[in-house]
Amino acid sequence: MNLKQARQQARLSQQQVAQAAGVSAMTISNLERGRHRPQPATARRLERLFGQILEFAAEEEGAIQ
């Protein structure tokens, strides 16, 4: 399951997830859109928050949007 799916299933806003993970809402947005990969510590906090392993797929560098 990816971050957006987990967040929506838990009925949480990006702001709520960001606060719980100690990052900004913009970071959560970028992670959900695949613009960035999380730092290992952030990934662990998010996985603990949702109680499952999450998939984080970043866009490949140089990809046309």
pLDDT tens per residue across span 17-58: 999 999 999 999 999 999 999 999 999 999 999 999 999 987
Helix axes 14-21, 40-50, angle to 10 degrees: 120
Class of domain 3-50: mainly alpha
At 58 the pLDDT is 73
Bridge partners, 2 (sequence order): 55
Alpha helices in 1-65 (DSSP H): 3-9, 14-21, 25-32, 40-50
CB burial of 6-34 (b: ≥16 within 10 Å; e: otherwise) equals: bbeeeebebeebbeebebeeebbebbbeb
> Does the pLDDT value for residue 60 go beyond 80?
no
Single-letter residue type at 12: L
Domain ranges of the chain: 3-50
* Per-residue pLDDT, 64: 45
At 60, is the secondary structure helix, strand, or coil?
A: coil
